[in-house]
Chains A and B, each alone.
Chain A
Amino acid sequence: MTAIPTLAVFKFASCDGCQLSLLDCEDELLAVADMVQIANFPEASREVAPGPYDIVLVEGSITTRHDAERIREVRRQTDVLVTIGACATAGGIQALRNWSDVDGFVQQVYAHPDYIDTLATSTPIADHVPVDFELRGCPVNKYQLLEVIAAYLHHRRPNVSRHSVCLPCKRKGNVCVAVAHGTACLGPVTQAGCGAICPSYHRGCYACFGPAESPNVGSLVDHLRGEGVEPGDLVAMLRGFNAWAEPFRSASDRIEEGSRA
Chain B
Amino acid sequence: MPDARTIAVDYLARVEGEGSLRVSVVDGTIEDVEFSIFEPPRFFEAFLRGRPFADAPDITARICGICPVAYQMSASHAIEDAFGMRVDGPLRLLRRLLYCGEWIESHALHVYMLHAPDFLGYESAIHMARDQRDVVQRGLRLKKAGNAVVGVLGGREVHPVNVRVGGFYRVPSRHELQRLVPELEWARAAAADTIEWVSTFPFPDLDQDVELVALRHRDEYPFNEGRIVSNRGLDIAVAEYDEHFVEEHVERSNALHSRVRERGSYLVGPAARYSLNFDRLAPDARRLALGAGLGESCTNPFRSIVVRAVEIFQAVDEALRIIAAYEPPPEPFVPVEPRAGVGRGATEAPRGLLYHRYAVDDGGRIVDAQIVPPTAQNQATIEQDLRAVLEANLAMADDELGWLLEQTIRNYDPCISCATHFLDLQVDRRSSTAGGSDG
Contacts and interface: CB of A to CB of B under 8 A. Distances in A.
Nearest to B129: A30
Interface string A171-200: 000000000000000000000001101101
Interface in B13-61: 13-18, 39-47, 49, 51-52, 55, 58-59
Contacts of A2: none
Given A15-B63, A108-B45, A139-B65, A202 B170 contact: yes
Interface in A83-117: 92-94, 96-97, 100, 102, 104-106, 108-112, 115-116
Nearest to B17: A16
A15 B58 CA distance: 13
Contact of B46 (A20, A23, A27, A105): A105
B169 A203 contact: yes
A15 B65 contact: yes
Contact of B123 (A23, A47, A94, A109): A47
B47 A100 contact: yes
Given A30-B137, A94-B42, A46 B406 contact: yes
A102 B63 CA distance: 18
A227 to B, nearest CB: 17
B40 A11 contact: no
A138 interface: yes
Contact of B158 (A11, A20, A110): A20
Contacts of A26: 140-141, 143-144, 147
A12 B147 contact: no
In this complex, which of A14, A17, A104 has the most chain B Cβ atoms within 10 angstroms of its Cβ? Answer: A17
Contact of A106 (B41, B44, B66): B41
B417 A23 contact: no
B254 A30 contact: no
B303 interface: no
B14 A43 contact: yes
A63 interface: yes
B14 A16 contact: no
Contact of A115 (B64, B113, B129, B253): B253
A208 interface: yes
A236 B52 contact: yes
Given A46-B406, A139-B158, A30 B144 contact: no
Given A15-B63, A111-B248, A208 B47 contact: no
Contacts of B65: 14-20, 139
B11 A48 contact: yes
B159 interface: yes
Contacts of B253: 115
Given A45-B13, A233-B52, A100 B126 contact: no
Contact of B155 (A45, A48, A109, A200): A200
Interface string A33-73: 10000100111111110000000000000011001000000
A126 interface: no
Interface in A128-162: 138-139
Interface string A212-230: 0000000000000000000
A21 B157 CA distance: 9
Interface string B203-231: 00000000000000000000000000000
Given A11-B18, A45-B14, A96-B47, A198 B161 contact: yes
B256 interface: yes
Contacts of B137: 30
Interface string B239-254: 0000000001101111
B299 interface: no
Contacts of B125: 44
A115 B144 contact: no
B332 A202 contact: yes
A97 B124 contact: no
Nearest to B147: A24
A248 interface: no
A146 to B, nearest CB: 15
A244 B17 CA distance: 24
A167 interface: no
Contact of B422 (A18, A42, A96, A102): A42
A194 B170 contact: no
Contact of A201 (B45, B66, B170): B170
Given A20-B16, A24-B147, A47-B127, 17 more contacts: A16-B16, A17-B159, A18-B158, A26-B141, A30-B126, A30-B137, A33-B126, A43-B422, A44-B124, A46-B123, A47-B124, A67-B40, A92-B62, A108-B46, A116-B41, A195-B156, A203-B162
Interface of B: 9-18, 39-47, 49, 51-52, 55, 58-59, 62-66, 68, 109, 113-114, 123-127, 129, 133, 136-137, 140-141, 143-144, 147, 155-159, 161-162, 164, 168-170, 248-249, 251-254, 256, 332, 403, 406, 415, 417, 421-422
19 contacts: A19-B65, A23-B109, A45-B13, A45-B123, A45-B124, A45-B126, A46-B406, A64-B40, A92-B42, A97-B43, A100-B46, A105-B46, A105-B47, A115-B251, A115-B253, A194-B156, A198-B155, A201-B169, A236-B52
